[in-house]
Amino acid sequence: MARVVLTAALANRFTGGETTMELEVDSVRKLLKALDADYPGLSEEIQNAQLLAIDGEIFQEAFLQKLKPDAEVYVLPKLGGG
Amino acid sequence: MDTKVKQSQGKLKWVGTRQVRPDGVDKVTGRARFGADYSLPGMLVGKVLRSPHAHARIISIDKSKAEALDGVKAVVSGEDFPDIAKEEAFIGEGPINFRYMAHNMMARDKALYDGHAVAAVAATSEEIAQKALALIDVQYEVLPHVIDVRDAMKPDAPILHDDLFTEGVTPEPTRASNIAKQVEFGRGDPDAGFAKADVIVERDYSTQPVHQAYIEPHATLASVDEEGKCQVWASSQGHFMVRAYCAKLLGLDLANIKVTPTEIGGGFGGKTLVYIEPVALLLSRRCSRPVKIVMDREEVFRSTGPAPGSHSTVKIGATKDGKIVAGYAEMRLQAGAYPGSQIGPAGMTAFAPYEIEDVKAVGIDVVVNRPKVAAYRAPGAPLAEFPVESAIDELADKLGMDPIEFRLKNAVKEGTQSCYGPVFQKIGFIETLEAVKNHDHYQTKLGPNQGRGVASGFWFNIGGESTATVNVNEDGSVVLIVGSPDIGGSRASLALMCAETLGIDYKQVRPLIGDTDAIGYTFLTGGSRVTFATGLAAIEAAKNCIDDLRKRAAILWDIDVSNVEWRDGVAHPVDAYSDEHEPMTLKQLAAQSAKTGGPITGHIALNAEGAGPGFGSHVCDVEVDPETGRVEILRYTAVQDAGRAIHPSYVEGQIQGGVAQGIGWALNEEYIYNAEGRLDNPGFLDYRVPVCSDLPMIDTVIVEVENPNHPYGVRGVGEVPIVPPLAAVANAIEAATGKRLADLPMSPPKVLAAIDE
pLDDT of residue B677: 98
pLDDT of residue B645: 97
**pLDDT for residue B434:** 98
Of B183, B212, B610, the CB nearest to A7: B183
**Interface contact B718-A82, CB threshold 8 A:** yes
Average of per-residue pLDDT across B339-363: 97
Partner A contacted by B460 (CB < 8 A): yes
Q: What is the pLDDT of residues B139-151, one digit of tens each?
A: 999 999 999 999 9
Q: Nearest Cβ partner of B376 from A9, A49, A82? A: A82
- Residue (of B718, B754, B729, B601) closest to B207 by Cα position: B729
Q: Which domains does chain A have, with CATH numbers?
A: 2-77 (3.10.20.30)
Q: What is the pLDDT of residue B3?
A: 38
CA B94, chain centre distance (Å): 11
Percent of chain B with pLDDT over 90: 96
User: How far apart (Å, rounded) are the C-alpha atoms in residues B571 and B318?
Assistant: 61
Q: Name the nearest CA neighbour of B304 among B293, B314, B316, B295.
A: B295
Find the angle CA(B684)-CA(B688)-CA(B694) to the nearest 5 degrees.
115
Share of chain B above pLDDT 70, in %: 98
For residue A77, list chain B residues with Cβ-Cβ distance below 8 A: 95, 183, 344-345, 348
Instruction: List alpha helices for B53-108, DSSP H.
Output: 64-68, 98-105
pLDDT at B399 over 50: yes
| Mean pLDDT to the nearest integer, B295-299 | 98
3-state secondary structure of B108: coil
Q: What is the pLDDT of residue B695?
A: 97
Q: Is B681 exposed, middle or buried (0-12, 13-18, 19+ CB in 10 A)?
A: middle
How far is Cα B86 from Cα B101, in angstroms, rounded to an integer? Answer: 10
Stated as kind and residue range, the H or E segment containing B126 is helix B126-135
Taking the C-alpha atoms of residue B405 and residue B399, their distance in angstroms, rounded to an integer, is 11
CB within 8 Å: A56 and B422: yes
Q: Fill in the amino acid letter for B85.
A: A
**Average pLDDT of the segment spanning B188-214:** 98
For residue range B248-288, what is the model confidence (pLDDT) as tens digits? 999 999 999 999 999 999 999 999 999 999 999 999 999 99
Q: Which residues from chain B sit within 8 angstroms of residue A7, using beta carbons?
A: 183-185
Give the confidence band of B299 by pLDDT, cuts at 50, 70, 90.
Answer: very high
Tell me whether residues B378 and A82 touch, CB distance under 8 A.
yes
Q: What is the pTM of this model?
A: 0.96
Residues from chain B contacting residue A56 (CB–CB below 8 Å) = 422-425
Q: Are B308 and B333 in contact (CB under 8 A)?
A: yes
pLDDT in tens, A14-55: 999 899 999 999 999 999 999 999 999 999 999 988 999 999
Contact status, residue B2 vs residue B701, Cβ threshold 8 Å: yes
Q: What is the pLDDT of residue B1?
A: 52
Mean pLDDT of B539-552: 98
Asked if residue B6 has pLDDT above 50, the reply is no
Q: B188 in contact with A at a CB cutoff of 8 Å? A: no
Mean pLDDT of B559-587: 96
State the DSSP string of B113-125.
Answer: STT-EEEEEEESS
Within an 8 Å CB–CB cutoff, is residue B607 touching chain A? yes
Residue contact A80–B378, C-beta within 8 A: no
pLDDT tens-digit profile of B39-97? 999 999 999 999 999 999 999 999 999 999 999 999 999 999 999 988 887 766 677 89
Type of residue at B550: R
Strand arrangement, sheet containing B117-123: B72-77, B117-123, B44-50, B291-294, B219-224, B230-234, B257-261
Predicted pLDDT of residue B90:
72
ipTM: 0.93
What are the residues whose beta carbons fall under 8 Å from the beta carbon of B30, sequence distance 6 or more?
Answer: none
Contact A57 B609 (CB under 8 A): yes
Residue B284 pLDDT: 98
Q: Do B168 and A12 touch (CB under 8 A)?
A: yes
> B202-215, pLDDT tens digit by residue?
999 999 999 999 99
Pairing of strands B631-641, B88-89: unpaired
Residue B600 pairs in a beta bridge with B472
If pLDDT is split at 50, 70 and 90, which confidence band does B180 have? very high
Taking 80 as the threshold, does the pLDDT of residue B293 lie above it?
A: yes
Put simply, the chain B residues between 617 and 656 with a CB less than 8 A from any chain A CB are none
pLDDT, tens only, B427-473: 999 999 999 999 999 999 999 999 999 999 999 999 999 999 999 99
Query: Which residues of chain A have a CB within 8 Å of the CB of B185?
Result: 7-8
End-to-end CA, chain A:
37
The alpha carbons of chain B give a radius of gyration, in whole angstroms, of 27
- Chain A residues 7-46 with a CB less than 8 Å from chain B: 7-9, 12-13, 17
DSSP string, B33-63: -BGGG---TT-EEEEEEE-SSSSEEEEEEE-
- DSSP lists the bridge partners of residue B717 as none
* Alpha-carbon torsion (B10, B15, B18, B20), positive or negative: positive
Q: What per-residue confidence (pLDDT) applies to A12?
A: 86
Each residue's pLDDT tens digit, B579-620: 999 999 999 999 999 999 999 999 999 999 999 999 999 999
Interface touch B420/A74, C-beta < 8 Å: yes
B754 near B737, Cβ under 8 Å?
yes
Distance between CA atoms of B675 and B651, rounded to whole angstroms?
Answer: 43
Q: CA-CA distance, B693 to B689, in Å (whole number)?
A: 11
Sorted by where each starts, the structural domains of chain B and their CATH numbers stand as 146-423 (3.30.365.10), 464-608 (3.30.365.10)
Does residue B716 have a pLDDT over 90? yes
Binned at pLDDT 50, 70 and 90, residue B10 comes out as: low
